[in-house]
C-alpha cells in the first residue's frame, strides 16, 4: 500500500539544482531564441521609459513650476540667492505689469526678474501673463509625457504578447514531447505511479512552467535592470540621499532570505498534500460504485476532510509568512520615504538640492520597492515552477523500454512489416516485486499456424506471461525469442505490428465506435470495414446503435454490455490483420450464449493465424494444438487435450470440476 500517493521523490532531502533542471529544458527555448532576444530589447526600452518618467518630472518642477535658484539682487535683500521668474520686457502686457510693480522686479536690459516668493503679490490675471511661457511649455511637456505613457503601454503590450506567444509555443512543444514520451514508457512505470500523478505532469506542471517563463524570468530581468537603473540615477541626482535610501537593502535582503527559507518548507508540504487530495478524489470517482454499495461515504468523507484540513493549515502557514513579509517590506519603504521627506526637505530649504530632485527621489523610491514587494508572489511562482520542472525532468529521464518509438519509419528496418514465424520462451523468471517471483523457469513454444493454450488456476501467472510476450515487462532471467531473435532486440513497433491482443478487460476511448475499432486503420475501404464487422459478429450491435459506427461511446464503453465490448475487441484485432493473436481470458465475464458467439468469432479470427489462448474455461482451450498447464508460476503439464486427460493430473481435475 502506498502512503505517499506517488510523490515519494518530493519527500527526500536532496533536490536538483535549479540551473541543472532549467538546463534540461533549455532545448525547448532554442527555436524561439530570436523572440526572447527581441523581448529582452523591449524590456530595456520599457525600463528606459519608466526610468525617464520621474526624471522628466524633476525637469518640469525645476524649470517650469519651481524655477531653480539663481542670483537675484534686490533692494530688500542685496545679496540674496532666491528663486525667481525671468520675463521678457519686449512684450507690452509684461511691460505694463512691471511698471505697476517696479518694487518687485529687477530690470536687467530687456529682461526683468521677480522673486518666486513675490509672485503671490500679483493678481491671478497678471500671474497668468507673467508665466505664460511656462504654462505653454508645460502644455507641450504634458503631451510629451503622455507620449511616454503611450509608448510604455505599447512596449509593455508587445513584450507581454511576445512572451505569452513564446511561452505557449514552448509549452506546446514540451507537452507534445511529454505525451509522446509517456506513451513509450515501460509498463512498470504505469503500475507503480497513480494516473493522477502522470496527468498532472502533462497538464498542471507544464502550465507552471509557462508561468515561470512569462511571469518570472522575463519580469526578473526587467526588475533587475530597473533596480540597477534606479540606483544609478539616485547616485547621479544626489549621492548623500542615494546612500541613505540604498542603506536599507541589507535589511530587505535578510528579510527576503528568511522568507524564502520558510516558504520553501511550507511549499513542499503543500505540493504533497495537493497530490494526496487529487489522488483521493480520483480514487473516489473511480470507485464510486464500491463506495455507495458498501456505504463507505461517511468514512471516505472523513478521510478526505482530514486531508483537506491538513492542506488548509499549510495554506494558513503560507499566508502567515506572506502576511509578515509583505507588510515588513511596506514598512521599510514607508520609513525610507519618511527619511527622504525629512532630510531631503531640509536640504531643499537649505538650497543644496532642488525641489525637483526630491520629487524625483520619492518617485524613484516608490518604483524601487515595487519589484521587492513582488518578490513574494514571484518566489511562489518560482518554487511551484521548479517543483514542476523537477517532476517533468524526472519523467523525461525515464528511458523507454527497448527504446521503442511511435515512428517506426525512422529506421530502415522499420519500413517493412515482418511475418511471424516462431515464438520460444526459454526458462523465463519474472515477478512484479523483487521478493515475490510470479514465473519460475517457464518454457513454451509456438510455430506459425499453430494454436496453443495457457490454462491453470487463478493467479498461476498466465496473464503475467502474456505481459512479457507483449513486451510490457522484461524477464529477470531466461529469454523470449521471436523468429529466433531475442525480444529485447526487437523494436517494439515492429514486434507489435505482427500481433493483436484481445484482453480480458478491453479499454475503449470516449470517441466513435469506428475510431475504437479501426483507429489508425481508417484507410480501409468500406467493403473491408463491412467484412470485418460481419466477421467479428458485430453486425447486430452496429445496427442497434443510433449512429451505427459513428455512435459515440461513453468513457470505458459503459453503455455497452461485457459481451458487446468483447465483440468490439475482436473486431479491433481483425482490423489489425495480425499474424499472431493473443486472447487473454476473452470469455471469462460473459454468459454462455455470448460465449458461444465469441468462440465462433474467435475461431474466425484465429483461422490461418498463430494463436495463444489464455483460458479459464477449458472448453475454449481444447481446440488448441498444444496446452500448457501453469500452476504457481511453473509449467506443470503440456500436451493435447486428449493426452492431458489421459494423464489424469491437474488438467483433468480442472476439467472434471468445470464439467460438474
Domain borders along the chain are 8-63+136-399
Pairing of strands 610-614, 451-455: parallel
* Mean pLDDT over the full length of the chain: 79
Sheet holding 111-115, edge to edge: 84-88, 111-115, 105-108
Query: pLDDT, tens digit, for every residue of 194-241?
Result: 676 777 778 778 887 887 787 777 777 788 888 888 888 888 888 888
pLDDT band at 55 (very low <50, low <70, confident <90, very high): confident
Identify the CATH class of 8-63+136-399. Answer: mainly alpha
- Asked whether the beta carbons of 452 and 446 are under 8 A apart, the reply is yes
**Residue whose entry in the numeric block shows the C-alpha cell 458498501:** 294
**For residues 588 and 463, what is the distance between their CA atoms, to the nearest angstrom?**
13
pLDDT at 68: 52
Residue 108 pLDDT greater than 90, yes or no: no
Give Cα 595 distance to the centre of its chain.
46
Say which range, 212-216, 405-409, 483-487, 649-653, has the weakest mean pLDDT.
405-409
Query: pLDDT, tens digit, for every residue of 398-444?
Result: 777 654 444 443 443 445 678 888 999 999 999 888 888 899 999 99
Query: pLDDT, tens digit, for every residue of 272-330?
Result: 787 778 778 878 887 887 788 878 888 888 888 988 998 898 888 878 877 777 777 77
**For residues 575 and 553, what is the distance between their CA atoms, to the nearest angstrom?**
19
Transcribe 469-481 into DSSP letters: HTTSS--SEEEEE
Query: pLDDT, tens digit, for every residue of 59-101?
Result: 777 777 765 544 444 444 443 445 677 777 888 888 888 878 8
DSSP 17: -
pLDDT at 75: 46
| Cα separations in angstroms, 563 against 501, 513, 542, 590 | 16, 15, 14, 6
Amino acid at each position: 500500500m502506498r502512503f505517499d500517493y506517488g510523490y515519494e521523490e518530493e519527500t527526500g532531502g536532496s533536490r536538483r539544482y535549479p540551473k541543472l533542471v532549467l538546463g534540461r529544458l533549455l532545448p525547448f527555448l532554442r527555436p524561439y531564441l530570436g523572440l526572447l532576444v527581441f523581448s529582452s530589447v523591449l524590456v530595456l526600452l520599457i525600463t528606459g521609459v519608466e526610468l525617464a518618467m520621474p526624471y522628466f518630472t524633476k525637469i518640469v518642477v525645476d524649470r517650469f513650476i519651481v524655477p531653480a535658484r539663481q542670483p537675484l539682487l534686490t533692494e530688500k535683500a542685496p545679496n540674496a540667492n532666491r528663486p525667481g521668474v525671468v520675463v521678457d520686457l519686449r512684450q507690452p502686457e509684461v511691460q505694463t505689469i512691471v511698471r505697476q510693480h517696479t518694487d518687485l522686479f529687477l530690470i536687467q536690459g530687456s529682461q526683468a526678474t521677480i522673486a518666486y516668493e513675490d509672485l503671490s503679490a500679483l493678481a491671478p490675471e497678471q500671474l497668468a501673463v507673467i508665466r505664460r511661457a511656462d504654462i505653454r511649455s508645460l502644455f507641450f511637456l504634458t503631451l510629451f509625457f503622455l507620449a511616454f505613457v503611450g509608448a510604455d503601454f505599447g512596449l509593455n503590450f508587445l513584450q507581454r504578447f511576445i512572451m505569452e506567444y513564446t511561452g505557449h509555443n514552448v509549452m506546446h512543444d514540451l507537452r507534445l514531447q511529454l505525451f509522446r514520451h509517456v506513451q513509450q514508457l515501460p509498463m512498470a512505470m504505469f503500475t507503480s505511479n497513480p494516473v493522477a500523478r502522470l496527468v498532472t505532469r502533462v497538464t498542471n506542471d507544464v502550465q507552471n512552467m509557462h508561468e515561470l517563463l512569462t511571469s518570472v524570468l522575463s519580469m526578473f530581468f526587467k526588475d533587475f535592470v530597473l533596480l540597477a537603473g534606479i540606483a544609478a540615477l539616485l547616485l547621479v541626482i544626489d549621492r548623500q540621499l542615494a546612500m541613505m535610501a540604498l542603506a536599507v537593502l541589507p535589511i530587505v535582503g535578510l528579510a527576503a532570505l528568511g522568507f524564502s527559507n520558510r516558504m520553501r518548507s511550507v511549499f513542499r508540504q503543500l505540493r504533497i498534500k495537493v497530490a494526496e487530495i487529487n489522488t483521493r478524489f480520483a480514487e473516489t470517482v473511480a470507485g464510486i460504485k464500491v463506495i455507495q454499495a458498501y456505504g463507505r461515504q461517511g468514512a471516505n468523507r472523513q478521510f478526505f476532510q482530514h486531508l483537506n484540513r491538513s492542506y488548509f493549515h499549510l495554506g494558513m502557514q503560507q499566508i502567515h509568512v506572506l502576511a509578515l513579509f509583505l507588510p515588513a517590506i511596506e514598512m521599510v519603504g514607508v520609513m525610507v520615504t519618511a527619511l527622504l521627506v525629512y532630510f531631503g526637505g531640509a536640504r531643499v530649504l537649505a538650497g543644496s538640492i532642488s525641489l525637483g530632485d526630491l520629487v524625483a527621489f520619492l518617485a524613484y523610491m516608490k518604483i524601487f520597492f515595487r519589484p521587492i514587494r513582488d518578490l513574494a508572489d514571484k518566489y511562489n511562482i518560482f518554487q511551484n515552477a521548479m517543483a514542476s520542472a523537477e517532476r517533468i525532468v524526472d519523467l523525461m529521464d525515464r528511458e523507454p523500454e527497448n527504446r521503442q518509438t511511435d515512428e517506426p519509419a525512422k529506421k530502415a528496418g522499420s519500413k517493412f512489416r515482418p511475418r511471424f514465424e516462431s515464438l520460444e520462451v526459454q526458462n523465463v523468471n519474472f515477478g512484479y516485486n523483487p521478493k515475490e517471483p510470479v514465473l519460475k523457469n517457464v518454457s513454451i513454444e509456438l510455430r506459425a499456424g499453430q494454436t496453443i493454450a495457457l490454462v491453470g488456476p487463478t493467479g498461476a501467472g498466465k496473464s503475467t506471461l502474456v505481459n512479457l510476450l507483449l513486451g510490457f515487462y522484461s524477464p529477470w532471467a531466461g529469454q523470449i525469442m521471436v523468429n529466433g531473435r531475442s525480444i529485447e532486440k526487437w523494436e517494439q513497433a515492429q514486434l507489435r505490428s505482427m500481433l493483436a491482443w484481445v484482453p480480458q478487460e478491453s479499454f475503449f476511448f470516449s470517441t466513435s465506435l469506428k475510431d475504437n475499432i479501426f483507429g489508425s486503420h481508417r484507410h480501409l475501404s468500406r467493403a473491408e470495414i463491412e467484412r470485418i464487422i460481419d466477421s467479428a459478429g458485430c453486425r447486430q450491435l452496429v445496427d442497434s446503435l443510433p449512429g451505427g459506427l459513428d455512435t459515440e461511446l461513453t468513457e470505458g464503453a459503459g453503455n455497452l454490455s461485457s459481451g458487446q465490448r468483447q465483440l468490439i475487441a475482436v473486431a479491433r484485432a481483425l482490423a489489425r490483420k495480425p499474424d499472431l493473436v493473443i486472447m487473454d481470458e476473452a470469455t471469462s465475464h460473459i454468459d454462455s450464449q455470448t460465449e458461444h458467439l465469441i468462440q465462433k468469432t474467435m475461431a474466425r479470427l484465429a483461422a490461418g493465424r498463430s494463436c495463444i489462448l489464455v483460458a479459464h474455461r477449458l472448453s475454449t482451450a481444447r481446440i488448441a494444438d498444444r496446452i500448457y498447464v501453469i500452476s504457481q508460476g511453473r509449467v506443470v503439464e503440456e500436451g493435447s487435450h486428449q493426452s492431458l486427460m489421459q494423464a489424469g493430473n491437474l488438467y483433468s481435475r480442472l476439467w472434471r470440476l468445470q464439467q460438474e
